[in-house]
Chain A
């Protein structure tokens, strides 16, 4: 889809779209689209991803500006956190005297 017989990719730059479903909620990844610049990316996102009332706000970001972890990173990045209960507030008992003071 992006390369034909080793030729240059002739598609417009790829952008990622994030939509906010309701005021105050976090933006969620809705999909991606092609556009030549930011204004058109915003308009295309409005046309493609908010047809059915899915958004009150839209963010568009060129895909190349998103740095993501890879599946290979999963082990070293995330597994070490699994067995360290002391990193959670619930692990600690707050002394009764300290609670009374607060």
Chain B
């Protein structure tokens, strides 16, 4: 459906685009998997459904992105091949997405950080020169709007709630902050695609991300941790935390054990 746009592209653009799509998709596939671990364990029924709905949103976004990546690659792989038959070192997700589920406060804190970032990212990306990327981003943007609303409401409820809920959510943000630097990582892949009008300059998003985070945290009575600390990185280059291996072992087990399985 986008054949002419794909075929007429120079090789470097195609390679960079494939890499870029993998990064976007892996973030959402891995985070979607983590959130799905709440299924059946939500604090209340309605939250269980809310979290699993969000997980499905993420996996849907990842599927669309990997489908397009497979098309760009043109090596006959499907989105399932790319998702299930790749080891941790070939994954391009941000470290923040791999971290264990944690308690409800940890999940909400991570959701606030990631969903505000995604909201701003897709808001820009829906104007991409690449029509497929723009289309996927426009749809994902609507989903992100809801994710932000949900995590904002819960951050404020927990932060401005009981002593226990406040303690837990403050601790969650304190633990997560060292993973926020990586959200705004850029390298030659981004710069190549920026030149083509396809990608987004995430460094430009950073100030607004900080400002929106600060608004919510203030309303939630949570103090924003300092940026002046060690910031984790490496995810975009296949360097991951010890958690990703275990996650992939669970996620990829079925197709790897039974490659002929049909659903």
Which residues in A have some Cβ–Cβ distance to B below 8 Å?
12, 33-36, 39-40, 43-44, 46-48, 51
Interface size on B, residues (CB 8 A): 12
Q: Does B101 contact A (CB under 8 A)?
A: no
Known interface pairs A34-B44, A36-B157, A40-B157; A47-B49 also in contact (CB < 8 Å): yes
Q: Would you call B153 and A39 a contact (CB within 8 A)?
A: yes
Q: Would you call B150 and A43 a contact (CB within 8 A)?
A: yes
CB distance from A36 to the nearest CB of B (A): 7
Q: Would you call B153 and A47 a contact (CB within 8 A)?
A: no
Known interface pairs A34-B44, A36-B157; A48-B150 also in contact (CB < 8 Å): no
A residues near B46, Cβ cutoff 8 Å = 33-35, 44, 47-48
Q: Indicate which residue in A34, A35, A43, A44 contacts B149 across the interface (CB closer than 8 Å).
A: A43
Q: Select from chain B the residue with minimum beta-carbon distance to A44.
A: B46
Q: Does B136 contact A (CB under 8 A)?
A: no
B residues near A43, Cβ cutoff 8 Å = 50, 149-150, 153
8 smallest A-B Cβ distances: which pairs? A44-B46, A47-B50, A47-B49, A48-B49, A47-B53, A33-B46, A39-B153, A48-B46
Q: Select from chain B the residue with minimum beta-carbon distance to A40.
A: B153
Listed by A's residue number, 26 A-B pairs whose Cβ atoms lie within 8 Å are A12-B44, A33-B45, A33-B46, A34-B44, A34-B45, A34-B46, A35-B46, A36-B157, A39-B153, A40-B153, A43-B50, A43-B149, A43-B150, A43-B153, A44-B46, A44-B47, A44-B50, A46-B146, A47-B46, A47-B49, A47-B50, A47-B53, A48-B45, A48-B49, A51-B49, A51-B53
User: Measured between alpha carbons, how far is A47 from B150 in the docked complex, in Å?
Assistant: 10
A residues near B150, Cβ cutoff 8 Å = 43
A residues near B47, Cβ cutoff 8 Å = 44
Q: Select from chain B the residue with minimum beta-carbon distance to A11.
A: B44
B residues near A39, Cβ cutoff 8 Å = 153
CB distance from B178 to the nearest CB of A (A): 30
User: Measured between alpha carbons, how far is A20 from B219 in the docked complex, in Å?
Assistant: 33
User: Measured between alpha carbons, how far is A34 from B50 in the docked complex, in Å?
Assistant: 13
A residues near B50, Cβ cutoff 8 Å = 43-44, 47
Q: Select from chain B the residue with minimum beta-carbon distance to A43.
A: B150
CB distance from A11 to the nearest CB of B (A): 9
B residues near A44, Cβ cutoff 8 Å = 46-47, 50
Given A33-B46, A43-B149, A47-B49, 12 more A-B residue pairs with CB atoms under 8 Å apart are A33-B45, A34-B44, A34-B45, A34-B46, A35-B46, A39-B153, A43-B153, A44-B46, A44-B47, A44-B50, A47-B50, A47-B53
A residues near B146, Cβ cutoff 8 Å = 46
User: Measured between alpha carbons, how far is A57 from B137 in the docked complex, in Å?
Assistant: 25
CB distance from B113 to the nearest CB of A (A): 19
Of residues 134 through 161 on chain B, the ones whose CB sits less than 8 Å from some CB of chain A are 146, 149-150, 153, 157
B residues near A34, Cβ cutoff 8 Å = 44-46
User: Measured between alpha carbons, how far is A35 from B43 in the docked complex, in Å?
Assistant: 12
A residues near B45, Cβ cutoff 8 Å = 33-34, 48
User: Measured between alpha carbons, how far is A43 from B149 in the docked complex, in Å?
Assistant: 9
User: Measured between alpha carbons, how far is A47 from B46 in the docked complex, in Å?
Assistant: 7
A residues near B149, Cβ cutoff 8 Å = 43
